Amino acid sequence: MHRHAHPEPLARRRVAAFGDHLQRRAGRRDAFRQGLDVRRETHRGAQRGLELGGVDDPGQPLDAAAPGRELQRGARGIAFDAHVEHLGARVGRQRVPHAQRAEQADRGLVERVDAHVAGRPRGRLPPGPTGQTHLQPAAAERQRGGHRHRTAAVHHHVQVRHRRHCRKPPAGAQAQSAVALPSLPEIPVSDLSVTLAAIGLHPIKSCAALAPREALVIETGLQFDRAWMVVDEHGEMLTQRELPRLALVRPTMRLDDLVLRAPGMLALHVSLDAVEAPTRVRVWDDVVKAYDMGALAAQWFSDFLGRRCRLVRFDPDEKRLSDRTWTGETAAETAFADGYALLVASTASLAELNRRLAEAGAGPVGIERFRANLLLDGLQPFDEDHLDEVEFDADGGPVRIRLVKPCVRCSIPNVDPATGEPGTEPGRTLAGFRADARMGGGLTFGMNAIVLEGADRVLRVGQSGRASFKI
């Protein structure tokens, strides 16, 4: 498709501006890949200190101490006995006096907890300005898969110096079937090592995904992710919720165009650097500027889906912001995604879900069902529910994201991506253990995230990073 002259001067200027934007974006990407030295920005808003000590349990590695923390995990918790180590002289450990512990929703038996934090040398970070030291004892109980486990004490010690409390998630209605632990101040705790196991790129909202080895980070997430969307004749978004056959539209990204294929259809070539008439479309409650991709694309999708529709592209000059209820003071941008720049999940969570599916006699599912952008390795199942920030070591500086909101699941994960047919799994299995009190009992899998730092830097599969928990 080629750019057509628009009769109105304003339209011509907007189309030309779109082309200029793409040229600038390409130039920035090329400059980066040629070795542009991008200065690392200061990215920690406030200092936080944390001193880690050893682990009394000889079965735990010395460099894998996890600080005392209490994580809200439905009816499961993690029990820690906090220890404190004398500063400076390191004269040994003493048991923290029995402190009042948060009330627990379920008094199950305590299982041994694997330490999560690895590879971080023990030492002292700069204290907060108050100079105050706060011991953070925590106790919780963990029940995995509905089975009780034998008690095994795991002793960790931690001394937390902090000057601020992190933003608390907004309070929402709690489902009767979802258990919520008492709320605690959110304090970032020690980093743990993660690896970027896979990247998911979804050029057209609700169509099939790509699995590239690398992706450029931009302000709205990953370049070309949810950059296009199918709309009806009134400009309203169309998704797999009402048209599951969209799952069968499979894109291929080439140098100059996006090639779309679907059963029974000739390939459609969509230019990456050309658009047609400007328009306005609706994605959920937001009406945003976009560009129509022309009559040929409209006819192609209309023929395949059996109803009148058009293909549009997000206007890069539009600033669609995520919900400030969850992003706080950060003005986080997104394109045609449901609400946030990125969706993050973990290999461990997917493996746990597939284990439960196997127990129920159902087949495994792939991460493509959940339409995640970043798949993390190195976590325990559903640890991502409680992560604060993740930082990857990219060329030219870090890529830093913040996980802000649990992703409530609709019917799309039940659509088989190979056939475009809806079913009952994995939704039925998720309903048995993933009702999230933070989301009014909604079934959650994965976390919505926003970009804090790293625009125009490249994420690659296999990159190492660090993630921090919040309590």
Q: Domain boundaries in the chain?
A: 48-164, 196-200+321-470
pLDDT of residue 426: 98
pLDDT digits (tens, 9 = 90+) for 455-471: 999 999 999 999 999 86
Task: Name the more confident of 421 and 190.
Answer: 421
Q: In what helix (H) or strand (E) does residue 393 lie, and over which residues does it extend?
A: strand 387-394
CA geometry: angle 286, 402, 230, nearest 5 deg: 30
Distances from the Cα of 70 to the Cα of 11, 140, 381, angstroms: 55, 6, 16
Give dist(CA 356, CA 144) in Å, integer.
11
Structure tokens at 412: 């799309």
Most confident of 30-44, 72-86, 378-392: 378-392
pLDDT digits (tens, 9 = 90+) for 435-452: 999 999 999 999 999 999
pLDDT digits (tens, 9 = 90+) for 244-295: 999 999 999 999 999 999 999 999 999 999 999 999 999 999 999 999 999 9
- The residues, ordered by sequence, that sit 6+ positions from 109 with a Cβ below 8 Å of its Cβ are 141, 143, 148, 149, 150, 151
- The residues, ordered by sequence, that sit 6+ positions from 13 with a Cβ below 8 Å of its Cβ are none
Q: Is the pLDDT of residue 71 over 50?
A: no
pLDDT digits (tens, 9 = 90+) for 114-172: 443 334 333 333 333 333 333 333 333 333 343 333 333 333 333 333 333 333 344 44
Most confident of 161-175, 178-192, 421-435: 421-435
pLDDT digits (tens, 9 = 90+) for 292-309: 999 999 999 999 999 999
Give residue 191's pLDDT band: very low, low, confident or very high (50, 70, 90): confident
pLDDT of residue 351: 98
Report how many helices (DSSP H) and strands (DSSP E) the chain contains, helices first.
5, 24
Strand partners, 392: 399, 465
CA geometry: angle 340, 345, 351, nearest 5 deg: 155
Which CATH architecture describes the domain 196-200+321-470?
A: Beta Barrel (2.40)
pLDDT of residue 56: 35
- Of the candidates 450, 347, 342, 451, the one whose C-alpha atom is nearest the C-alpha of residue 398 is 451
Q: Is the pLDDT of residue 35 over 50?
A: no
Give dist(CA 460, CA 449) in Å, integer.
18
- Of the candidates 463, 322, 461, the one whose C-alpha atom is nearest the C-alpha of residue 403 is 322
CA gyration radius, the chain: 24
pLDDT of residue 12: 56
3-state SS assignment for residue 268? strand
Structure tokens at 145: 């898969």
Instruction: Using a cut of 0.85, tell me whether the model's pTM lies above it.
Output: no
Query: Is 231 in contact with 242 (CB distance < 8 Å)?
Result: no
